[in-house]
Amino acid sequence: MPDGPLIVQSDKTLLLEVDHPRADEARRAIAPFAELERAPEHVHTYRLTPLGLWNARAAGHDAEGVVDALLTHSRYAVPQSLLVDVAETMARYGRLTLEAGFEDDAGTAYPLVLRSTDRAVLEEILRHTKIKPLIGARIDDATVAVHPSERGHLKQELLKVGWPAEDLAGYVDGEAHPMALETADWSLRPYQEHAVEGFWHGGSGVVVLPCGAGKTLVGAAAMAQAQATTLILVTNTVSARQWHDELLKRTTLTEDEIGEYSGQRKEIRPVTIATYQVLTTRRKGVYRHLDLLDARDWGLIVYDEVHLLPAPIFRMTADLQARRRLGLTATLVREDGREADVFSLIGPKRYDAPWKDIEAQGYIAPADCVEVRVTLPDAERMAYAVAEPDDRYRLASCTPTKLPVIRALAERHPGEPTLIIGQYLDQLHEVAEALDADIITGETPVAQRQKLFAAFRTGEISRLVVSKVANFSIDLPEASVAIQISGTFGSRQEEAQRLGRVLRPKGDGRTAHFYTVVARDTVDADFAAHRQRFLAEQGYAYRIVDAEDVLP
């Protein structure tokens, strides 16, 4: 279509004209298969990658649909070579399949096999040095035996060589444990039902939902579907307690059926909630708590905030391929580039709801995103200029010039539940003192954290200064203002999580406010631009204002 908002280029980049009247429609159409790379004011740059196309294929999108989206929204003719490449890349997914219970012509049964619809592909992958040790006997021209313990490792290696296997081998039911949703005064939202259906139909995989959109309820509904013992892995103890409380409230599970396995407690019950931290704790090089994975015949494993999985959990997950696995996250973006491991070991993306679609349905609050830029005084600029590169971000992030701006922003919203979020503890303590606000950091005992979070929820306190411990899995439904003063360098996932702290719908329907205070002409501003990429992909636009426009 000649007036489309999209320019499709032969190097697999897609340029989206943000101000075009059909830009939002085009963004939604390409979101399932294209990844946003850059998001300046007027033209956003997306890229087509094999992993993005395979994720789309696994989620039920076919090459014809992808090609149609590109042709429909492109302003100019789409390069034929790119269309061919899209079709051929997507056709690679499923050319190899993992299957269980195979029996050859002689009646010999094999618990797990790798089959191919293309003999040449099978011959090619059998010659890879890292794949050979994972493969067993050759059964026929199209089939080789695989030891069940190598199911995960084989999927990882096949993905690396560009031939992702579709896992059709099924799952063990695990130990049965009856439970149901307690829906007397609530019900699953339509998108939550679709998420559970997508996951269950696929067997294992990842559900991507905005912060505040009820990922825990999707997990609970998947548990009710599985009717089996469940291991839930979470980011921290506060998150574990929130899962515990939500399951008691939303399901027929009782206190005796739910255990916590953390630094403080070691309970193994039909539903066990464990922290990533305790599982990855080593003593003398040994992971002491891995026995938890074999402690029960788990029927379902839930990975909360799957985009944060530590490397040791990936290794453990390779051994759990016969168990149903559900990953929950607001963004599959990983700054360490391990999205491919999530795909091969947890499963492909089974459901992904665009944030703006959920907002349009009224399930998350609209948000006004503003970047406030401060200028370093001459003395600080000189100190920054001569500093070692490793020190520059801290110098720029923690400039005292931000303090009056932070105070002015907080005073713009008197009485509104406001979070001030940062990375550096000295800076946070200074801000807390200046605003006479309570503070939560990693050093704050869990009981004290829960007490302060409860006071914030009830309105007893309206301002809370928090470190990155509040990035994830913290339920603060009434928070309506967030002021970000420093972050983990250019982490896109962190930006998404922090905005998510204020997106839960407000009782009076008001708009949430998300401010980021950055020092111009420094790496602070560069990292801020990188962090905003994921949210720009979701349709959030940042207004940039000068500190002078904020100060009284």
Q: 506: which DSSP letter? A: P
Give me the domain span that covers residue 73.
6-92
- Which tokens go with 121? 């592909």
Q: What is the pTM of this model?
A: 0.81
Output the CA–CA distances (angstroms, integers) from residue 449 to 6, 114, 438, in the order listed: 47, 49, 10
The answer as to whether 176 is a domain residue is no
The reported pLDDT for the residue numbered 1 is 44
**Are both 302 and 335 inside the same structural domain?**
yes
Please identify, among 92, 119, 148, the residue that sits at the C-terminal boundary of a domain. Answer: 92
Same-domain check for residues 63 and 114 = no
> Is residue 184 in some structural domain?
no
Residues of the chain by 3-state class (helix, strand, coil), percent to 5: 40, 25, 35
Question: What CA–CA distance (Å, rounded) separates 474 from 457?
Answer: 11
pLDDT per residue as tens digits for the range 347-377: 988 888 777 788 888 888 888 889 999 999 9
* Residue 56 to residues 31, 305, 324, 505, 537, Cα–Cα distance (Å): 9, 21, 20, 29, 16
Do 130 and 245 share a domain, yes or no? Answer: no
pLDDT digits (tens, 9 = 90+) for 175-228: 999 999 998 889 999 999 999 999 999 889 999 888 788 899 999 999 999 999
Res 313: pLDDT: 84
Q: How many structural domains does the chain have?
A: 4
Is residue 516 situated within a structural domain? yes
Q: Are residues 101 and 234 in the same domain?
A: no
CB 33 within 8 A of CB 52: yes
Domain finish residue from 152, 167, 182: 167
Whether 443 is covered by a domain: the verdict is yes
Give the whole-angstrom CA distance, residue 301 versus residue 320. 9
Indicate if 348 and 372 belong to the same structural domain.
no
Which CATH number does the domain housing residue 349 bear? 3.40.50.300
Q: Which two tokens stand for residue 241?
A: 């307690």
Say whether 320 sits in a helix, a strand or coil: coil
Q: Are residue 301 and residue 392 in the same domain, yes or no?
A: no
Same domain, 270 and 403: no
In this structure, the answer to whether residues 330 and 284 fall within a common structural domain is yes
- Reference 396, options 412, 379, 384; nearest CA is 384
pLDDT at 53: 95
In a domain, 182, yes or no: no
User: Does 333 reside within a domain?
Assistant: yes
Answer for the pair 174, 299: CB distance below 8 angstroms, yes or no.
Answer: yes
Q: In what order do the strands lie in the sheet with 34-38?
A: 6-8, 13-17, 43-48, 34-38
Domain identity same for 162 and 202: no
- Structure-token pair, residue 51: 């992993």
Q: Are residues 235 and 146 in the same domain?
A: no
* Residues 383 and 347 placed together within one structural domain of the fold: no
The low-confidence residues of the chain, meaning pLDDT below 50, are 1
Question: Domain boundary residue among 32, 65, 92?
Answer: 92
Structure tokens at 495: 């930006």
Q: Which two tokens stand for residue 473?
A: 């899995």
Are 394 and 537 part of one and the same domain? yes
Q: 238 in a domain, yes or no?
A: yes
Q: Please report the pLDDT score of residue 48 as a whole number.
A: 94
pLDDT at position 470: 66
Is 60 domain-assigned?
yes
